[in-house]
Each structure stands twice: as structure tokens, then as C-alpha cells.
Amino acid sequence: MTTKIWHNPRCSKSRQTLALLEEQGINPEIQLYLENAPTAQDIEQALTLLGKAPRDLMRRGEALYKDLGLDDPALSHADLVAAMMAHPKLIERPVVFHQGKAALGRPPEQVLEIL
């Protein structure tokens, strides 16, 4: 099964996580998620595998999060997933998928738990 990373090369944690995977002998499929946004199904799968709610996978410190009013408790799960799909900058990174499991690379060493 292919290992995959939702990667942003401008992010130090994302670069460190990718380097850590490569040190482990893993050459993951790299999805530049800002250019090739995950689908709603991809985001739902990530949430399920991570055991997280949508806001737990969102960069709540981003100005865009506030500008879009995403802290509104009336927003549904589907609303938040749609926001991440439309604005992938909101997705916390990096996310690594490996053999039916997923981990958020914050800190990068956290991905070692699924390898």
C-alpha cells in the first residue's frame, strides 16, 4: 500500500515530516494539497482515520478561518469539510497516510506511530 503525504513544501513541519519518512526508507506519494485540494471524501477519510472532528484538522489561527466565520458553532460537520475543500490552506499539515492509518505530523515524529 502506498504511503501518501498532504505536503506543503513551504512549511517546516511538512518538510521535516517528509525527511523523516525518507529516513525510514519510505518514498511517499506527495500530494501538494494547496495545488491539488483533497476532495470531501478525502477529508472525511482523513478525519475518520485520525479520529478527529473537522475543526481539529483546521488551522484555526489562519486569518481566513476568522474571515469566513468558521468559529460559528452553528456550522455543521459538512459545512466545515466544504470549507476545507474550498480553501485547503485551512487544513492542518502535514497529514500522512500509511497502511490504512493516518497521522498528523505535528510534531513530525508523531508519524512514526503509524509506520
pLDDT one-digit tens code per residue, 58-77:
999 999 999 999 999 999 99
DSSP 3-state of 25? coil
Cα–Cα distance, 20 to 99 (Å, whole number)? 17
Sheet with 101-104, side-by-side order of all strands: 29-32, 4-7, 95-98, 101-104
Taking 70 as the threshold, does the pLDDT of residue 1 lie above it?
no
- Is there a catalytic annotation at residue 56? no
pTM: 0.95
The interaxial angle of helices 40-50 and 77-86, nearest 10 deg, is 120
Q: Give residue for cell 466545515.
A: 80
Amino acid letter at 46?
A
Q: Which fold has domain 4-114?
A: Glutaredoxin (3.40.30)
Catalytic, out of 3, 11, 110, 114: 11
Q: Where are the domains of the chain?
A: 4-114
